[in-house]
């Protein structure tokens, strides 16, 4: 079931519920500049056998309001939006799972809204404050693949639809790291997202948003929400040992490895990812 949720005056987010209607809610929080449809249907369906699954479009993605260029907002506002989605659906608490920037947002949720979370699952992300220039240990962590840094410089360049599709497929190829990559699968996904969004333009809003308020790594030691960190061994954005570092700074976090997981979700990693998420939410 699809619906729109007004999170503040003039800003509404597209959301979709599926799966087991009476199952415990599971909110999926996607990464930067990515629509909710970037969550693969097979993953959503597999999780839905046990959960009421919610995926949604961040503001400035998919069918949600495009507001950044007129009303700039900080990254932290996206975490508030996640709670607004729960409010809009009348959900007091939910399991939450996030990857990439979504993992950053889930860390903010376990700090600021622990009463709303049943469990938290994170992967392909860095600990809050991991890039702080005052933290010597974090400074030693490896950065993204230089090829990605170069590609990101052209994220918002104007392109026609076919050129944009080519750029997105090339982006997914790099995000898979040295794991297996299905270009046709990625292209079909992006064609769906473009149709869902009503256009192919990428405003790159989240890349431009103010990142202040994310340097809160020391607070993670006080987390009490049951947290799973999945080590995506082929992640070229937050490569090892980022996951180990993240699990070490979150109080009580459990670390598991999905060897073929990168910074993108192909059908080949869905079974292992599903198994780890469900094993955690059952606990």
CATH classification at residue 172: 3.40.50.1820
Q: Catalytic annotation on 70?
A: no
Structural domain that includes position 85? 2-282
Going edge to edge, which strands form the sheet with 94-99? 2-8, 11-19, 51-56, 24-29, 94-99, 117-123, 227-232, 254-258
Asked if 274 contacts 48 with a C-beta cutoff of 8 angstroms, the reply is no
Q: Catalytic annotation on 263?
A: yes
User: What is the per-residue DSSP string for 130-147?
Assistant: TT-TT-HHHHTS----HH
Q: Provide the pLDDT for residue 62.
A: 97
Q: Provide the pLDDT for residue 202.
A: 83
Q: Which residues of the chain have pLDDT under 70?
A: 132-139
Calpha distance 46→227 (Å, rounded)? 21
Calpha distance 23→86 (Å, rounded)? 15
Run of H or E including 5: strand 2-8
* Active-site pick, 65, 80, 100, 186: 100
Overall domain count for the chain: 1
Q: Which residues pair with 185 in a beta bridge?
A: none
Q: Provide the pLDDT for residue 176.
A: 95
Q: Provide the pLDDT for residue 180.
A: 87
* Active-site pick, 235, 242, 245, 280: 235
Q: Catalytic annotation on 145?
A: no
* Active-site pick, 51, 242, 263, 280: 263
Q: Provide the pLDDT for residue 136.
A: 46
CB-based contacts of 112, cutoff 8 Å, min separation 6 = 79
Tokens of 198: 């009503």
pTM for the structure as a whole: 0.96
């Amino acid at each position: 079931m699809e619906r729109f949720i007004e999170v503040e005056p003039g800003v509404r987010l597209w959301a979709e519920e599926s799966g087991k209607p009476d199952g415990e809610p599971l909110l999926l929080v996607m990464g930067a500049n990515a629509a909710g449809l970037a969550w693969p249907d097979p993953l959503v369906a597999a999780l839905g056998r046990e959960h009421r699954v919610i995926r949604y479009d961040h503001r400035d993605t998919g069918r949600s309001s495009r507001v950044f260029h007129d009303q700039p907002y900080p990254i932290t506002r996206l975490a508030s939006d996640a709670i607004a989605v729960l409010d809009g659906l009348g959900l007091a608490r939910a399991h939450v799972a996030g990857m990439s920037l979504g993992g950053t947002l889930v860390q903010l949720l376990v700090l600021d809204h622990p009463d709303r979370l049943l469990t938290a699952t994170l992967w392909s992300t860095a600990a809050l404050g991991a890039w702080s220039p005052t933290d010597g240990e974090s400074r030693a962590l490896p950065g993204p693949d230089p090829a990605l840094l170069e590609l990101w410089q052209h994220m918002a360049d104007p392109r026609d639809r076919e050129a944009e599709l080519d750029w997105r497929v090339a982006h997914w190829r790099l995000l898979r790291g040295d794991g297996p990559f299905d270009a046709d699968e990625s292209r079909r996904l992006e064609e769906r997202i473009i149709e869902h969004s009503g256009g192919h333009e990428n405003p790159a809003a989240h890349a431009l948003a103010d990142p202040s308020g994310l340097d809160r790594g020391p607070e993670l030691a006080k987390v009490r929400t049951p947290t799973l960190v999945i080590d995506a061994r082929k992640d070229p954005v937050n490569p090892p040992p980022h996951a180990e570092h993240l699990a070490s700074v979150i109080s009580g976090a459990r670390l598991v490895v999905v060897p073929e997981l990168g910074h993108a979700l192909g059908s080949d990693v869905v079974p292992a990812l599903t198994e780890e998420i469900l094993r955690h939410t059952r606990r």
